[in-house]
Amino acid sequence: MNSEPGRSGQQQAKSPLSEAAKASLAKTHTLFRMFVVSVLGAFFVYQLDVAYLWLAAVLTAAGLVLGIVLLVRSIRLRESKLVLLGTISGMVVAAVMVLLIVTTMILFDQVREYQACLGRALTDRATHACMAQFQDVLPTKVR
């Protein structure tokens, strides 16, 4: 039985969106896709090599700008909660990326030498030697 009086057994359909609302929703989804691609792209480019640090920085900056635009748009236009949650999560990833990029920029020469050492290392012993050498050249407050 139906516990709510006045409602029929069928669910009421949502009112159809106007053309302006559909265009706004489509723009928000396009911005969200661009945001996800830039944040994930920055993360994966950072993993490649320290020589591509500039590209990771550009993608992270683009992700931060798109994230701020999406946050404002989601809150002001009351867009999808999923987009809002995804944007907040992506902004956290972008903030971590900013910290990683700044740290890598400060220790650029040390990280470059470490990556070169790892590229030459063929055994576990050589890999551990690279790690020990990297820890030796780091400032004492970073260790």
If you search the block for the tokens 């902004």, which residue do you land on?
Answer: 91
* Total-model pTM: 0.70
What is the C-alpha to C-alpha distance for residues 23 and 40, in angstroms, rounded to an integer?
Answer: 26
CB neighbourhood size of 7 (10 A): 10
Condensed to tens digits (0 to 9), the pLDDT of residues 41-85 reads 999 998 888 888 899 999 999 999 999 998 888 888 787 788 888
- Which helix (H) or strand (E) segment is 137 a member of? helix 124-137
What is the C-alpha to C-alpha distance for residues 108 and 91, in angstroms, rounded to an integer?
Answer: 25
Q: Indicate the burial class of 17 (C-beta count within 10 angstroms; 0-12, 13-18, 19 or more).
A: exposed
> Is residue 3 scored above 90 in pLDDT?
no
What is the C-alpha to C-alpha distance for residues 112 and 25, in angstroms, rounded to an integer?
Answer: 44
Which residue type, as a one-letter code, is found at position 108? F
pLDDT for the residue numbered 92:
94
Structural domain boundaries of the chain?
26-106, 108-143
